Chain A
Amino acid sequence: MPDSLPHPDLVAALPRLRRYARVLTGDLNRADDLVQDTLARAWEKRRLWQPGSDLRAWLFTIMHNVHVNQFAVRRREQSESSLDADDGPVAGWEIPVRATQSDRVELAEVFAQMGRLPVEQREVLILAAVEELRYEEIARVQCVPIGTVMSRLNRAREKLRRMCEVSPSPLKVIK
């Protein structure tokens, strides 16, 4: 039972935590608040971290839970649309495309369309395709069975592909 977290590793994980927070909240300011809340929670729960395990995945799990709880509270307050809504733009993707520092059209498109996916599908895509977590780890982060992770991944990829199909660079046919 550790009495502390490896501080250098925690600092090194900050850029990835911040990215995950932005994908979850869709809002740059709220993302930094979420990172702060996650760090505070991580220090409170530091005795639950097992030294030698993946600190990054552990922090993602905490962040996911903090966000779900905050989201539930806000939803009760504002009676917003469902968390699992599968259609239509998702409330609160407020990040301008230039925040990605990318000048490429297709990347701007991917970025913008990500904001139209339900939050749990955005999460799976970021964790699987960008952070390259194992599917079992993603299941642990989201606290769902692995089958749910796979179906979310499948839906997210299909949807993103369809939405980006209107972009100017069509898929090349592979012979």
Chain B
Amino acid sequence: MSSNLPLSDDDVHAYADGKLSEERRARLAAALERDPALAARVAAIRRQNVELREAFDPWLTEPLPRELIAGAQPPRGRKPPRGRWAMPALASAATLIIGIGLGWMGRGEVLHLAGTPTTFPRQAALTHALYATDPNRPVEIWANEEDRLVRWLSKRLNFPLHAPNLHAMGYDLVGGRLVAGNEKPGALFMYENADKQRISLLVRKDSEHTSETAFRYALEDGVGVFYWIDDACGYALSGRVDKQQLLAIARVVYGELAAADAAAAPKP
């Protein structure tokens, strides 16, 4: 698209979708300043995009039927292998795929075993596996808008949330998103360290009668999860991280949240 062409309707869509080239983006941004109606239109498109994602993303964390997982397997017996060399070649190809794809494999396996009723740690691991590797949009709102993110999620979950600061543990906030829960939505905060290793904290309101628990650990197909319930809220910290390291981070999360709660509590 030549940059000398006048701005078109297509540019408005591309701008709202974040797909416009640098130079035209600047020109359209300038046009928005002059034209409130155009600015409103861009805002409406973006709002619609967010609503569409919120309406259709919950499907992504649904357990998959086993037949579909099986359907993704290479077909067997449909076509006889060409000659006797095919089998060893296939076997080594499979080994190679398993070798290079260990990280990905884990992601697949989480989905693979998702046919059973979902427990909280399994849901956390599944959600982490899905979004931590998402190429386009691991989070809905990025960390540069942390205040807006926390306000938005607090409003959606209907109780005050905090994104704990894990900088001391080497992890910085990437952003967050609203995720599907069993009955109510949950909030996901994602963090990343210098090695691009990601961990995520899932928060959801639990039923009124759940009692508090100590830290519990679950290993869900390669994803470690420390989870606990505090003040009728469930928390789960997930990542492909060594158990002791994850526990250390979970303790910091717990401490940060307790401190935030104490600060927010009304003074007697």
Chain A residues engaging chain B, CB cutoff 8 angstroms: 3-12, 14-16, 18-19, 22-23, 32, 35-36, 39-40, 43, 99-104, 106-108, 110-111, 114, 125-126, 128-132, 134-135, 150, 153-154, 157, 160-161, 164, 171, 173-175
Contacting residues, chain B, for A128 (C-beta < 8 A):
13, 17
B72 x A110 contact (CB < 8 A): no
B48's contact among A39, A102, A134, A161, by CB below 8 Å, is which?
A161
A15 x B64 contact (CB < 8 A): yes
Interface residues of B in 79-105 (CB under 8 A from A): 89-90, 93, 97, 101, 104-105
Query: How many Å from the CB of B243 to the closest CB on chain A?
Result: 24
Contacting residues, chain A, for B45 (C-beta < 8 A):
157
Question: Does chain A have a CB within 8 A of B51?
Answer: yes
Contacting residues, chain B, for A160 (C-beta < 8 A):
48
A15 x B53 contact (CB < 8 A): no
B36 x A14 contact (CB < 8 A): no
Contacting residues, chain A, for B261 (C-beta < 8 A):
none
Chain A contact residues, majority secondary structure: helix
Query: How many Å from the CB of A169 to the closest CB on chain B?
Result: 10
* Complex: chain B residue closest to A106, CB-CB: B51
A110 x B51 contact (CB < 8 A): yes
29 A-B pairs with CB atoms under 8 Å apart are: A4-B97, A6-B101, A7-B97, A8-B101, A8-B104, A10-B72, A12-B108, A14-B111, A15-B61, A15-B111, A16-B60, A18-B68, A32-B65, A36-B71, A39-B68, A43-B75, A100-B58, A100-B59, A102-B185, A107-B55, A114-B52, A128-B13, A129-B53, A150-B13, A153-B13, A154-B13, A157-B45, A173-B40, A174-B39
